[in-house]
Amino acid sequence: MTAPAPALSVEGLRVAVGPPGRGRAVVGDVAFAIPPGGRLAIVGESGSGKSMTALAVAGLLPRGARQTAGQIALGGRIVDPAGPGMARIRGREIAMIFQDPMSALNPVMTVGAQLVEAIRAHSAMSPRAARARAAEMLAAVQIPRPAERLDAWPHEFSGGMRQRVMIAMALTHRPKLLIADEPTTALDVTTQLQILRLIDGLCREEGSALMLITHDLGIVEGFCDSVVVLYGGRMMEAGPVAAVLGRPRHPYTRGLMATIPPLDRDVDWLDPIPGEPVATPAADAPGCPFAPRCGLAEARCRTVTPAWRPAGSKVAASCHLLAPSPAGGGLS
């Protein structure tokens, strides 16, 4: 028996920014797969390449950025995200919601018109039927009096409500994969949880896989089943959430864990990761990108790129110190 094809598989993804030939690599050799209905978190701080990875998968890289290598497959079928056929796939098989709901909706189109546009982009529905469907979608994202709200303008909605509209638009065609790029970062804390629960519930109902981009490990723990940790555009560690967060192997993951305030006791001081991510080398430079900030770094960390190697059941990481050494050192 063979396992069903993953909703999304990414292999050897590289993204560069800047003119061809002289560009700077911002994502290097990222690979992961999400099974149908699975929930993968991509974690990292600003500049880790997590948003670039998401945008590359959706073929929505900003001007000046491009995919330079890698293979992306949706439901087992290889696609070219930057190709002309992608418009037929986006919104139908892959949907995406973004960080800032305040600017993600067109300010001069009514909420209803934008929903109807999303519906009719991939179906031959009449404008009337599409409007009815749009109202259903608003109801599904728990916006009260949905039929009336179709005629409202985005500026009449709060941030949380706009993000609900974005979710409604994204899920209208029951996509195989929903990419959510920091969907709650711009919202206030009480709204954050509501929106995450909504995404979680609707993905479950529609059977959509979820790729959640976040820097918040609490969100990862609460809503995802596997996690990829990125730093400097490269994969540091990946595996099931419980395994990775329960026993982080990579020094960077450990550093990230140390920045989370524990819920069960008061602390005066959290350990920040030393240094600045600004100094991160290009994603295709030799050596480990985290080496300049890593307290355990050795000489080889700065010159030799560590191999991607298993580090326990279903967990893998990229760190020289995880290599089995005859002297019995290493982290694992």
Partner 1 sequence: MGSGASRQERGQALARAAARRLFDLAVVMVGVATVVFLLLRAVPGDPVLILGGLDTLDRDVIARARAEMGLDRSLVEQYLIWLGNMVSGDLGRSLRSGVPVTDLILRAMPPTFQLGIMALVIGMVISVPLGVAAARRAGSPADLGITVFAILGISTPPFVIALGLVYLFAVEFRLLPVAGYVAFADDPAGNLRAMAMPALTLGLVTGGVLVRMMRRSVIDELGEDYVRTARAKGVGETAVVYRHAVRNAAIPYVTILGLEAGVMLSGAVITETIFAIPGLGRLMIDNINARDYPVVQGTVLVVALVYVLINAGVDGMYRLLDPRVRAGAAR
The binding site for partner 1 (CB under 8 A) comprises 58, 60, 62-63, 87-92, 95-96, 98, 100, 103-110, 114, 117-118, 121-122, 145, 148-149, 151-153, 155-158, 166, 169-170
- Report the distance separating Cα 130 and Cα 168, nearest Å: 13
Burial degree of 224 (CB within 10 A; 0-12, 13-18, 19+): buried
AA letter at 283: A
- Report the distance separating Cα 177 and Cα 174, nearest Å: 9
From 74, 73, 30, select the one nearest 52 (Cα to Cα): 30
Residues 6+ apart with CB under 8 A from 187: 101, 159, 160, 163, 195
CB of 256 to partner 1, least distance (A): 28
CB of 154 to partner 1, least distance (A): 8
From 241, 231, 181, select the one nearest 56 (Cα to Cα): 181
- How distant, in Å, are the alpha carbons of 71, 112, 131 from that of 148? 44, 9, 11
HSE (side-chain half, CA atoms, 13 Å) at 194: 13
Which helix (H) or strand (E) covers residue 147, if one does?
A: helix 146-149
Cβ-based nearer residue to partner 1, 107 or 324: 107
Alpha helices by DSSP H, listed for 185-240, are 189-206, 217-223
Cβ-based nearer residue to partner 1, 107 or 329: 107
CB of 107 to partner 1, least distance (A): 6
CB of 268 to partner 1, least distance (A): 39
Residues 6+ apart with CB under 8 A from 285: 25
Q: Which two tokens stand for residue 289?
A: 């990108």
- Report the distance separating Cα 273 and Cα 264, nearest Å: 22
CB of 44 to partner 1, least distance (A): 21
CB of 92 to partner 1, least distance (A): 6
Cβ-based nearer residue to partner 1, 122 or 300: 122
CB of 215 to partner 1, least distance (A): 19
Cβ-based nearer residue to partner 1, 79 or 95: 95
CB of 82 to partner 1, least distance (A): 12
Distance between alpha carbon 59 and the CA centroid of its chain, in Å? 14
* CA gyration radius, the chain: 21
Task: Give the length of the chain.
Answer: 332
Cβ-based nearer residue to partner 1, 116 or 317: 116
Our CA angle for 215, 220, 224, nearest 5°, is 140
Cβ-based nearer residue to partner 1, 144 or 329: 144
CB of 200 to partner 1, least distance (A): 20
Cβ-based nearer residue to partner 1, 163 or 305: 163
Cβ-based nearer residue to partner 1, 151 or 271: 151
Cβ-based nearer residue to partner 1, 27 or 94: 94
